[in-house]
Amino acid sequence: MEITEIQERVSKILAENLSVPEEKVTPEARFQEDLDADSLDLVEAVLALEEEFGVSIPEEEMEGVRTVGQAAQLVASKLEPSTQA
């Protein structure tokens, strides 16, 4: 899967989960400051991403994630092994 496609799907899911317009969910958008997401919103968003992509994202790895783009990168890194297989 291309990173742009992953980014698009991630943005769509985040927009749905955080109840914000999709155009606001750019790769640069910061969860807290730009999207008004609190910790519970984020946890729910991660659960939704895990379900959508069939990946497992450990809580520790979410700690450094501040932007939508970083979240998409993290999802992409989890997908790599299966796309190679």
Partner 1 sequence: MSDRRASVALVTGASRAIGRATALALARSGLAVAVGYRSDPEGAEEVAAKASADGGRALPISIDVTEEKSIEGAFTRIESELGTVRVLVNNAGLSKDGLAVRYPTEAWDATVNTNLRGAFLCSRRALRGMLKARWGRIVNIASAAALRGNSGQSAYSASKAGLVGMTRSMAREVAIRGITVNAVCPGFVESKITAVAGDELRQRYIEMTPAGRFGTPEEIAGVIAFLAGPEASYVTGAILSVDGGLTA
Q: Applying CB under 8 A, does 47 fall inside the site for partner 1?
A: yes
> How many residues touch partner 1 (CB under 8 A)?
3
Buried b (16+ CB within 10 A) or exposed e, 2-13: eeeebbebbbeb
**DSSP-derived 3-state class of residue 31:** helix
Q: Applying CB under 8 A, does 60 fall inside the site for partner 1?
A: no
36 annotated active-site:
no
Interaction pattern, residues 16-45, with partner 1; x per rule: CB under 8 A: ------------------------x---x-
For tokens 């955080």, name the residue: 18
- Residues annotated as part of the active site: 38
